Amino acid sequence: MRSLLLLAALTACSGDFDDTDSSSADLASASTFDHDGVNHHAQTIKLAHSTVQLRDVDGNPIGKTVTGSVRMQGIEAIDSPIGTLYYTWGDGQPSGHIHVSDLAKRPAIDDSARAGNGEACAIGSKSYWVRPARIEGDLRYRGPTTGDSYSLAWYGTPGTPVDDYTYLSWSWIDRAGGGIVRAVVRENDVFYPCAVKSIKTESIATSGWVKAIYGMVQSNGHRYFGWLVHSHQYDSQPVVMHVALRST
């Protein structure tokens, strides 16, 4: 493993997506949809059952469970095909959406916790299949507020060894509060990119980068906008795609 530390840089890619016909002038600035200040609006809630399934944005189980009390996120409620879902993260347990019937009470929602992120944008004819892919743990970034080093692996396949889902984030990791999850999306879900410049995050540890793009996924007729990993490169190895072109 190379030990050379690179200066952290989080910049919009000049050419946007690898397969786009758009010029940079046609694309909105990434900063229009990427703001500081997202917070979890965290609250601890007891589960209604001894063991509860975690789910994706469509309400399908992701192969992970939680027990006892969980740390819930109070940014929004997801209206899925199986009913209302809320997001839980970390605190020593796996992360994912929980059905309202599996909670002793509903989390309180504070719309201001999104800090202006997750806004709708123009969708064209292009779409991608989501293809979650592992990101090496020693690709790292520096938190813009803490100054600490964090792994980019969480934005690849966060459920490893379950590797068929990934995250759609409210804002990207270049922002204070960045990387907070809006939705768990699965392999072969459809992602619709917006005409927005991508963000390329250069690793501060082993050489490499991760590129994120802005767009939306749909569930039960609702649109959820956010940032999704498009591709990454580890050291001098070939670029790994996290999406596959579905339509142009």
| Cβ-based neighbour number of residue 106 at 10 Å | 13
> How far apart (Å, rounded) are the C-alpha atoms in residues 9 and 193?
23
Residues 6+ apart with CB under 8 A from 31: none
**How confident is the model at residue 43, as a pLDDT?**
98
**How confident is the model at residue 100, as a pLDDT?**
98
**How confident is the model at residue 20, as a pLDDT?**
45
Q: Is residue 152 left, alpha or beta, with left meaning phi > 0 and alpha meaning psi from -120 to 50?
A: alpha
**How confident is the model at residue 159, as a pLDDT?**
94
**What are the structural domain ranges in the chain?**
9-37+115-247, 43-113
Q: What separation in angstroms does the CA of 29 have from each of 71, 96, 99, 203?
A: 34, 30, 36, 22
**How confident is the model at residue 12, as a pLDDT?**
36
Question: How remote is the C-alpha of 221 from its chain's centroid?
Answer: 20
Residues 6+ apart with CB under 8 A from 146: none
**How confident is the model at residue 23, as a pLDDT?**
55
Residue 158's nearest CA partner among 168, 148, 143 is 168
**How confident is the model at residue 15, as a pLDDT?**
34
**Mean pLDDT of successive 10-residue stretches along the chain, which has 248 residues:** 33 41 75 98 98 98 97 98 96 96 98 98 93 98 96 96 96 98 98 97 98 97 97 98 96
**How confident is the model at residue 91, as a pLDDT?**
87
Fold for the domain defined by 43-113:
SH3 type barrels. (2.30.30)
**How confident is the model at residue 24, as a pLDDT?**
66
> How far apart (Å, rounded) are the C-alpha atoms in residues 184 and 166?
6
**How confident is the model at residue 147, as a pLDDT?**
94
Is residue 187 within 8 Å of residue 247, measured between CB atoms? no
Give the sign of the dihedral formed by CA 20, CA 192, CA 187, CA 201. Answer: positive
Q: What separation in angstroms does the CA of 52 have from each of 44, 48, 69, 248?
A: 15, 8, 11, 40
Residues 6+ apart with CB under 8 A from 134: 153, 156, 157, 160, 163
Dihedrals phi, psi of 153, to nearest 5 degrees? -60, -30
**How confident is the model at residue 26, as a pLDDT?**
85
| Cβ-based neighbour number of residue 200 at 10 Å | 21
Residue 97's nearest CA partner among 117, 77, 118 is 77
